[in-house]
Amino acid sequence: MSDQPRVEIYTKEECPYCEKAKDLFDAKGIEYETYNVTGDDDLFEEMVERSEGRKTAPEVFIDDELVGGWDDTSALDETGELDEKLGIADDTDEEIEHRKLVIAGTGIAGLTAAIYAGRSNNAPLVIEGDEPGGQLTLTTDVANYPGFPEGISGPELVNNMKEQARQFGAELKNGIIESVDASSRPFRIEMSDGDVYTADAVIAASGASARTLGIPGEDELMGYGLSTCATCDGAFFRDEDMLVVGGGDAAMEEATFLTKFADTVYIAHRREEFRAEDYWIDRVMEHVEDGDIEIMKNTEVTEIHGSQEAGVDYVTLVENDKGHPTDRLDDPETDEFEFDVGAVFFAIGHTPNTDYLEGTGVEMDEEGYLRTQGGDGGGQTETDVPGIFGAGDVVDFHYQQAVTAAGMGSKAAIDADEYLEDLERAAASEGEGEGKGASEDEDEEEIAAADD
């Protein structure tokens, strides 16, 4: 495409969000130039200067104008403005496309559901969402997914699954589901770019997004030394002291990863015991012995200080031996102090992406996780709205493993298939009941024939 605007993407190695940005432009058929800043200080400085001081990859430019990182690019895509900038906006009037099955999410749960649903001839439309590929794309080394004794990178596993899903007839589409209207059937699905679909069944596999703390300095410094993805941004803060917040597996994995770049990695955890598995704690402890990692227990961050020009300067921490110090700010034993670090990484869990299901009647818990039927036998992934199913991290706040998400994805596709077959049977018998009168058409004959 020669008359398209010039798209430039600064990337680095081991950068899942860079891959997401490239995938987005690939899916739109847009050509782009990439500049890999890994190990190239001049290019890195150029990126920082052009992106107004941001030290996070990717950085996307269209016709020399800064779009920003992955979040900015995907936000622009949601509103349709990205297509406008690229000169590919579709100005035609609203067209409503009907699909048998729409799957929200292309993480492990959504893609496994897509593979199964494709094989059941339900031709699923799979919506990528604002984190295509899901959480696993942020993991460099997946060592516990069965069948890969040497391990496999998260992005590779996800890309293999996408290919497998497409082979069975799934269509993957970039986009964000804004809302699902369940007040009539088929469901009406509105996309943030204005597209509308109807669907007989929906599988919600929209996962969960990284949590933040909501503390002063956070909004200003996100992308300027504060990050929720160590594998994406760690290398930009080489030789700095770095702070990881959290006490779960993700915090331990990120801290371990960051030892490759940091002077010292500090882990601030709000209580005495880690939530992480022994495997990760042992690995962290080896680094503690080597002096690469220091652990600050019963400690929380209350403010991040710095500027977009100079990055993170220092943080304010509070500590109390009883744990959860921010709940004990009036306790005289709570110690508040300033602590110099050059980068901060949040690894404090995730919030389920279920906003688009509000108003459908689907039951959720107080954090927004979907409640599904669970238990034994069929229908485990049913929500309390017939035709809407849930799978993966959007339901499961406990196991949260790639392999359990895959298992739930397959169950959701099987449950949806049974539901769709029931619908077809009901439609066929309704047609028969009405006799072969005015409503007779070819579709009904096909359904009735398939039912014999």
* Token representation of residue 22: 């490239």
241 within 8 A of 266, measured Cβ to Cβ:
yes
Instruction: Choose the catalytic residue: 23, 72, 193, 233.
Output: 233
DSSP character string of 1-21: --SSPPEEEEE-TT-HHHHHH
DSSP character string of 236-250: GGTTS-EEEE-SSHH
Nearer to ligand NDP, 168 or 397 (CB): 397
Nearer to ligand NDP, 192 or 401 (CB): 401
CB of 339 to ligand NDP, least distance (A): 15
Q: Which long-range contacts (CB under 8 A, 24 or more apart) does 156-164 make?
A: 157/108, 157/402, 158/106, 158/107, 158/108, 158/111, 158/133, 158/134, 159/133, 161/108, 161/111, 161/112, 161/115, 162/106, 162/111, 162/133, 164/111, 164/115
> In terms of Cα–Cα distance, which of 232, 231, 230 is closest to 56?
232
Q: What is the DSSP letter of 411?
A: H
CB of 373 to ligand NDP, least distance (A): 22
Nearer to ligand NDP, 182 or 318 (CB): 318
Interface residue list for ligand NDP (CB under 6 A): 213, 245-251, 253, 270-271, 275, 300, 347-349, 400
| C-alpha triplet 142, 145, 149: angle, nearest 5° | 85
CB of 49 to ligand NDP, least distance (A): 34
CB of 400 to ligand NDP, least distance (A): 4
Query: Is 18 one of the annotated active-site residues of the chain?
Result: no
* Token representation of residue 361: 């009647």
Query: Is 233 one of the annotated active-site residues of the chain?
Result: yes
Nearer to ligand NDP, 65 or 365 (CB): 365
Instruction: Choose the catalytic residue: 229, 241, 292, 417.
Output: 229
The helix (H) or strand (E) run that includes residue 208 is: strand 208-210
* Token representation of residue 317: 């921490």
CB of 350 to ligand NDP, least distance (A): 6
Indicate the residue type of 256: T
Nearer to ligand NDP, 69 or 325 (CB): 325
115 within 8 A of 168, measured Cβ to Cβ:
yes
Nearer to ligand NDP, 83 or 335 (CB): 335
The residue nearest ligand NDP at its CB is 248
CB of 283 to ligand NDP, least distance (A): 10
330 within 8 A of 182, measured Cβ to Cβ:
no
Instruction: Choose the catalytic residue: 72, 232, 292, 393.
Output: 232
Active site residues: 229, 232-233
